[in-house]
Structure 1
Amino acid sequence: MGHGGNVIAELTTDHREVDELFARIESQPVGDEQRRKLVDELTKELVRHSVAEEMYLYPAVRAHVEGGAGIADKELSDHAEVEQHLKELEGLAADDPQFDHLVAKLKLEVSEHVRDEENRLFPLLAASCTPEALDELGDQVRRAKKTAPTRPHPSAPDTPPGNKLLGPGAGLVDRVRDALTGRGQG
């Protein structure tokens, strides 16, 4: 993930990639190990995306959108639920009876969150910020995704300054763990 354009274009492209990952997971036979690998890939993308939104998008919504604090709080609550499901999925094999149930639940929550962002939050942000500010937010989000964690950390802070201080360190540790275990490489 890292596509270019303003923050809305960047995050919308991420959303379509997540949709595609869900479709790829669903196209695999139930219990197939490829489902596990695809869920690992999905987890990495969702965590990086969420961390970048928490670091830059939601503070911008709070600062620029009327009623933005309430909107940002709702989005953060959505992220917490998704992250908890990702954590529950992390240790499950593809043939575990709970695996497909949690993937379906995750897809529903992510789809609702995406729909809310694209239909409500993004239009409000676009109306409240200059094109230059949206471009700068896009650059910040892309930079954040490069150093963000790749595994769920439900107890980590999700608002500044804590997330900006701890996120890159957790991201480094996660990427080392991913390299050592081969996670997300096939």
Structure 2
Amino acid sequence: MSLLDTATEIRIDHDNVRELFERYQSASSKDEKAVIANTLVREMAIHGDAEEISVYNELPRLGLGPTVEHNKEEHAEIKRLVYSADSTPTDSENYDEVVTHAVQTFIQHAEEEEIDQLPVIKKKVSEEDNDKMARSFLYARKVVPTRPHPMAPQTGGIAQKAAGLPAALHDKIVETINTRKFVDVKQQHPNV
């Protein structure tokens, strides 16, 4: 079994959001944009919460405690913007602007992580710890909410995990009742 890399798994999410946004920008109909936007919202929500309850919990022991606090502040802003994108009607005249602002803020944060943080993490952890962190992140992606919940705890600890489980179930119900449609993402994570 090959070892996984935390930076690679995080970049998959970042790259999927970038690629989805390109598709969103070139979509020709509101219906097509709405389906892509649903997927963008889902991917950004999952990514943020998964990082907070997995990777971010490991960073203080690497001497990156201030980085965690900075990232959580940015995540709180991103969640607020993604929530706004999720709740703005597709026929609203500012729909594109709201979605674009949320995605651009996410991408700006992603670039900061890729340039300033992920290389430092890779240098400071053993291959085995890197693999454990990557697997923790991938498991977290399976259990966190699929829609933004900016009022939920942002601690990264047990309170966020506990609040996330019923929220994840709620999100599945809402998505089923509302018959939300999604597009496929370009890159897939390994199945762990």
The equivalent position to 1:131 in structure 2, one of 127, 134, 153, is 127
Q: How far apart are 1:148 and its partner, in Å? A: 1.1
Amino acid in structure 2 at the alignment position of 1:25: Y
Q: How far apart are 1:82 and its partner, in Å? A: 1.0
Match status 1:80 vs 2:76? yes
Q: Post-superposition, which runs of at least 4 consecutive aligned residues in structure 1 deviate over 3 A?
A: none
Identity percentage of aligned residues: 25
Q: Which residue of 1 aligns with 2:15?
A: 16
In the alignment, structure 1 segments of 5+ residues that lack a partner are none
Match status 1:172 vs 2:177? no
Per-residue CA distance 1:16-36 (angstroms, 9 max, x = gap): 11111101110113x612111
Q: Which residue of 2 aligns with 1:182?
A: 179
Name the CA distance, whole Å, in 1 between partners of 2:23 and 2:136: 29
Q: How far apart are 1:125 and its partner, in Å? A: 0.8
> TM-score, with normalisation over the residues of structure 1?
0.90
- Counterparts of 1:41-52 in structure 2 under 5 Å? 41-52=39-50
Q: Which residue of 1 aligns with 2:102?
A: 106
- Counterparts of 1:154-169 in structure 2 under 5 Å? 154-159=150-155, 160-169=157-166
Q: How far apart are 1:5 and its partner, in Å? A: 2.4
Q: How far apart are 1:91 and its partner, in Å? A: 2.4
- Counterparts of 1:135-154 in structure 2 under 5 Å? 135-154=131-150
The equivalent position to 2:88 in structure 1, one of 87, 92, 96, is 92
In the alignment, structure 2 segments of 5+ residues that lack a partner are 184-192
Q: Which residue of 1 aligns with 2:188?
A: none
Name the CA distance, whole Å, in 2 between partners of 1:144 and 1:184: 23
Q: How far apart are 1:181 and its partner, in Å? A: 1.7
Cα pair 1:28 1:34 within 8 Å, conserved? yes
Name the CA distance, whole Å, in 1 between partners of 2:49 and 2:96: 25
Cα pair 1:89 1:102 within 8 Å, conserved? yes
> TM-score, with normalisation over the residues of structure 2?
0.88
Q: How far apart are 1:175 and its partner, in Å? A: 1.2
Cα pair 1:36 1:93 within 8 Å, conserved? no
CA RMSD of aligned residues (A): 1.6
Cα pair 2:144 2:161 within 8 Å, conserved? no
Q: How far apart are 1:40 and its partner, in Å? A: 0.9
Amino acid in structure 1 at the alignment position of 2:161: K
Name the CA distance, whole Å, in 2 between partners of 1:24 and 1:139: 29
Paired residue total? 180
Q: Which residue of 1 aligns with 2:187?
A: none
